[in-house]
């Protein structure tokens, strides 16, 4: 793995804040120190993404339209890496994980930073909960550990 595409809202920071928690800043810095390229990929608008990342100097793709491929293609171009060299980290099954898999990338689904969501995300969470319950019943959802 040479690159990480990471979601912004409720992955790196709370959706209603512009402050990246110290532990997440440290994680970003550690990845970059190890030579791993990092690009933030967000469905949010440019102003929001810029305000959160201004001092970190991390490349980003805003208005990515995940799970569509267009934002992922733009992020991979910025990193100069092929999909098979990257992993996607995000808090949503229907945007981050599905989008990654559509591009042939592996994905890590993380717990949201905060338990509340913005209006658009609430709709996704409704469907994600139903999908997760179905996958659990079928024995296809990994056990948490």
Write the CB contacts of 64 (distance below 8 Å, at least 6 apart in sequence). 41, 42, 43, 70, 71, 72, 74, 75
Strand ranges (E), the chain = 3-6, 37-41, 60-61, 86-90, 106-109
Residue 121 lies in a domain: no
What would the DSSP string read from start to end of 115-139? Answer: S---HHHHHHHHHHHHHHHHHHHTT
Domain CATH code at residue 64:
3.40.50.1000
What is the model's pLDDT at position 87?
A: 98
Residue 138 lies in a domain: no
Tens digits of per-residue pLDDT, 10-44? Answer: 999 999 998 999 999 999 999 999 999 999 999 99
What is the model's pLDDT at position 141?
A: 87
Strand partners, 109: 90
Residue 107 lies in a domain: yes
What is the model's pLDDT at position 130?
A: 94
Top pLDDT among 88 and 121 is at 88
Cβ atoms of residues 61 and 41 within 8 Å: yes
Q: How far is CA 30 from CA 13, 36, 65, 68, 108, in A?
A: 17, 9, 28, 29, 18
Q: 134: burial class by Cβ within 10 Å (0-12, 13-18, 19+)?
A: exposed
Average pLDDT, the chain: 94
Please check the confidence at residue 144 and state whether its pLDDT lies above 80.
no
Q: How many domains does the chain have?
A: 1
Residue 139 lies in a domain: no
Residue 99 lies in a domain: yes
Residue 145 — pLDDT band, cuts 50, 70, 90? low
């Amino acid at each position: 793995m040479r690159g990480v595409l990471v979601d912004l809202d409720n992955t790196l920071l709370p959706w209603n804040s512009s402050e990246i928690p110290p532990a997440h800043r440290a994680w970003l810095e550690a990845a970059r120190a190890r030579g791993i390229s990092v690009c933030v990929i967000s469905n949010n608008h440019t102003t929001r993404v810029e305000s959160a990342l201004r001092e970190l100097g991390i490349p980003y793709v805003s208005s990515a339209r995940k799970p569509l491929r267009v934002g992922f293609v733009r992020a991979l171009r910025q990193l100069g890496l092929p999909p098979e060299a990257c992993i996607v980290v995000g808090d949503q099954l229907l945007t981050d994980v599905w989008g990654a898999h559509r591009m042939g990338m592996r994905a890590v689904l993380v717990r949201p930073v905060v338990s509340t969501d913005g209006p658009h995300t609430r709709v996704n969470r409704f469907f994600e909960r139903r999908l997760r319950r179905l996958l659990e019943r079928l024995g296809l959802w990994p056990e948490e550990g």
